[in-house]
Amino acid sequence: MRTFRKKILLGYGASLLLIIVVLSLAVVLILRLGRASESILQENYRSIQAAENMIDAVERQDSATLLILLGYERQGTAEFRENETLFLQWLGRAKDNITIPGEKEILDNLEKSYTRYLSELSNLQLLYRSEPARATNAYHEVILPLFRSIRDTCIKLRDLNHETMYAASNRANKISVQAVFSISLIGGVSVIIIIVFSLFLSHLISRPVTELKEAALHVAQGNYDVQVPVRGSDELTLLATQFNLMVEKLKQFHDMNIGRIIAEKRKSEAIIRSVDNGILVVDDNFLITNLNPEAAKIFGVLPEDTLEKHILEVMRDEKLFHFLKEALASGQPPQMEEGEDILTIKTGEESRHYQVSIVPMRTPSRVIPGVVLLLRDITRLRELDRLKSEFVMTASHELRTPLTSINMAVKLLRESAATKLTDQERALLEACHEGVQRLRALVNDLLDLSTIEAGKLELAFEPVQPSFLCDQALSVIKGQADAKGIELTLGVPEDLPEVTADPHKIVWVLVNLLANAVRYTKAGGHIKLAGELVGKQVYLSVIDDGQGIPLDVQPRIFDKFVHSKPSDGNGGSGLGLAISKEIVKAHRGTIWVDSIAGQGSTFTFTLPVAA
């Protein structure tokens, strides 16, 4: 298989080969040029040098001849012979270096003329010795023309070599021009081939990559109908094939998911629509993104009119909007006190009440920016509650008068007729007395609670020392605690700041908590009344080491008629803590319990420090 790597290597190998060819050609041409220049020097320089030297020698010989004719025979002859040797030496060298056509003929000619010149000169010497006057004539007629002919032949030889040299130089020039031209041509062609190849290669590499990139972009945008063209058999083609396969699988998966999501969405919409509570969904900009017909009915709007509208345009309740903001910011349901989660909507004469739950949207792994508001119609429940309270109040009221009479009668009987009764009758009378006491306590509690719930509890606030309240409560309960053998301690500092409270009601709360502690603590147990200042609140706590309250009952312990154990029902009405809570609430305080079953309980409530 031709791999992608091989393709690149092959391409660059071809380019390298081209560069090597161009370089080799350049080297060959430069060598040829060098050799041409060398031959010019080698071939012709020696011949020119020989010709020049021969001219030199023959000219000196001519001067030596004239010296002989002037009478200096010995001197002239010596110089003549000396130059003869030189001439013959150079002639020999010139003959050894015959390279040009015609050069041989010239040299042959020269040799012949020179031989003649030498013999004619011997003749001239002889003539000079015999007849000096004729010798001068002979010189002019024979020797001088011969000398000139020799010199001209030498000059011819030199010129011939000069011309050859010139021609060779021209040839070298031509070769160099040719070399430049062919190197440029082949170099240029190579550059074009390499550029074309590089473009082709980059295109070859980048095209599939670009196609892949564009396809990936489409897929990222949710378009799964893209396919990358598959051509060739290299790694990129393999990648393209795998990519196409992956996109196909993604498309199948996506289609399947879309179908499922649409089905789920319809299901959820159907559920939301069919719920008979109002449901309203708000995004992180407080714009309504969904609301069911019930919610639209509650707010008296059309669902399509409210979508994308600000929640405050529909639900004009600043307090609930504040909680909604809190839920969006924290991702947690807001902490709403009792009553704060009620939305009252007035339509004409009628008022309807809805309990609002604010639930931030979240998956198991993350919080989705948005909140769901659930509106539960509690108008009927409230009405029932009111009727019930009214009934309890009326019944308790009606029961109180006959109970007082019965109580008085039983009391009288116990005091006056006790001695006349049998033991059995006296036991019955005691049971009757106990029952009347409990009934009176229950009726009183019921009456108190109904009064508080109906908002008819009257409070007389005044600044008061917490330790004073605690002393009062302790003095009431001390007898009971002592009777049961329970140790009672006061741990409320004297220097706590005064609180704003109705002393009677708070003493009532403290007595109730202490009475419970005594009731649910075994003999030999301990009860402590503690107090501390936290910020602008005084915390008062009743701590016991009694039976404690199970964890699952603790959140409901302040509700009416709740007992941690069924057997506890024998002890009290189950209204004490409910009344305590209402009283503390009326003081703008809070009450809570910390308890571990079997180890004891701590009931704590707060009171505001007096301004």
Minimum CB distance to ligand ADP, residue 580 (Å) = 7
Task: Establish if 43 lies at the interface with ligand ADP (CB under 6 A).
Answer: no
What character string, x for contact with ligand ADP (CB under 6 A) and - otherwise, covers 468-507?
----------------------------------------
Among positive and negative, which fits the CA dihedral 114, 118, 119, 123? positive
**Computed from CA positions of residues 12, 14, 19, 20, in that sequence, does the dihedral angle turn out positive or negative?**
positive
Number of amino acids touching ligand ADP (CB under 6 A): 23
Q: How far is the CB of 578 from ligand ADP (least distance, A)?
A: 6
Q: Shortest gap between Cβ of 584 and ligand ADP (angstroms)?
A: 13
Rank residues 496 and 517 by Cβ distance to ligand ADP and give the closer one. 517
> Does 562 sit near ligand ADP (CB under 6 A)?
yes
Show the binding pattern over residues 334-373: x = contacts ligand ADP (CB under 6 A), - = does not: ----------------------------------------
Instruction: In angstroms, give the least distance from the CB of 481 to ligand ADP.
Output: 13
CB-nearer residue toward ligand ADP: 443 or 577? 577
**CA proximity to 517, closest of 555, 474, 573, 472:** 474
Binds ligand ADP (CB under 6 A): choice among 327, 403, 449, 549: 549
Residues 331-348, buried b or exposed e (16+ Cβ, 10 A)? eeebebeeeebbbebeee
Q: Does 604 bind ligand ADP (CB under 6 A)?
A: no
Number of Cβ atoms within 10 Å of the Cβ of 235:
14
Report, in Å, the least distance between residue 452 CB and ligand ADP. Answer: 14
Q: Does 571 bind ligand ADP (CB under 6 A)?
A: yes
CA distance 330 to 23: 76
What residues contact residue 447 under an 8 Å CB cut-off, 6+ apart?
393, 396, 397, 400
In the numeric block, which tokens belong to residue 356?
Answer: 């609002």
Q: Interface mask (CB under 6 A) for ligand ADP, residues 500-539, using x and -?
A: ----------------xx--x-------------------
Smallest separation, CB 297 to ligand ADP (Å): 40
DSSP structural state of residue 495: T
Query: What's the rounded Cα separation, in Å, for the pair 221 and 325?
Result: 33
Between 294 and 445, name the residue whose CB sits nearer to ligand ADP: 445
Judged by beta carbon, residue 343 or residue 583, the one nearer ligand ADP is 583
Phi first, then psi: give them for residue 534, nearest 5 degrees: -130, 110
Of 109 and 451, the one with the shorter C-beta distance to ligand ADP is 451
306, 564, 604, 606: which one contacts ligand ADP (CB under 6 A)?
564
Q: Which residue is nearest to ligand ADP (CB)?
A: 572
Applying CB under 6 A, the span of 207-215, 271-279, 348-356, 557-565 interacting with ligand ADP comes to 557-565
Span near ligand ADP by CB under 6 A; candidates 58-66, 80-88, 423-431, 563-571: 563-571
In the complex, minimum distance from the CB of residue 609 to ligand ADP, in angstroms, rounded to a whole number: 26
Least distance in Å: CB of 414 to ligand ADP? 25
For residues 93 and 563, which CB has a smaller minimum distance to ligand ADP in the complex?
A: 563
d(CA 397, CA 388): 14
DSSP string, 133-198: HHHHHHIIIIIHHHHHHHHHHHHHHHHHHHHHHHHHHHHHHHHHHHHHHHHHHHHHHHHHHHHHHH
Contact by Cβ (8 Å): 610, 498: yes
Backbone torsions φ then ψ of 609, nearest 5 degrees:
-65, 140
User: Of 293, 303, 574, 608, which one interacts with ligand ADP (CB under 6 A)?
Assistant: 574
Question: Least separation, in Å, of the C-beta of 377 and ligand ADP?
Answer: 30
Minimum separation from the CB atom of position 458 to ligand ADP (A): 22
Out of 50, 557, 583, 584, the only residue in the binding site for ligand ADP (CB under 6 A) is 557
- Of 62 and 544, which CB lies nearer to ligand ADP in the complex structure? 544
Using left for φ > 0, alpha for ψ between -120 and 50, and beta otherwise, residue 240 falls in alpha
Rg of the chain taking only CA atoms, in angstroms: 67
Please report, for residues 15, 53, 296, 567, the alpha-carbon distance to residue 553 in angstroms, rounded to integers and kept in the order given.
89, 140, 38, 14
Single out the residue of 15, 97, 465, 547 in contact with ligand ADP (rule: CB under 6 A).
547
Sign of CA dihedral 581, 587, 590, 594: negative
Q: List the alpha helices (DSSP H) in 70-143.
A: 73-96, 103-130, 132-138
Cβ pair 286, 312 in contact under 8 A:
yes
Out of 464, 546, 581, 589, the residue judged to bind ligand ADP by CB under 6 A:
546
Q: How far is the CB of 583 from ligand ADP (least distance, A)?
A: 13
- Side-chain half-sphere exposure of 100, counting CA atoms within 13 A: 27
Structure tokens at 214: 């564009």
Instruction: Name the minimum Å distance from CB 528 to ligand ADP.
Output: 12
111 contributes a contact to ligand ADP by CB under 6 A: no
Q: How far apart are alpha carbons 90 and 57 in whole angstroms?
A: 9
Residue 544: CB minimum distance to ligand ADP, A: 5
Give the nearest distance from C-beta 420 to ligand ADP in angstroms.
36
**CB nearer ligand ADP, residue 68 or residue 511:** 511
Residues near ligand ADP (CB under 6 A) are 516-517, 520, 544, 546-549, 557, 562-565, 568, 571-578, 601
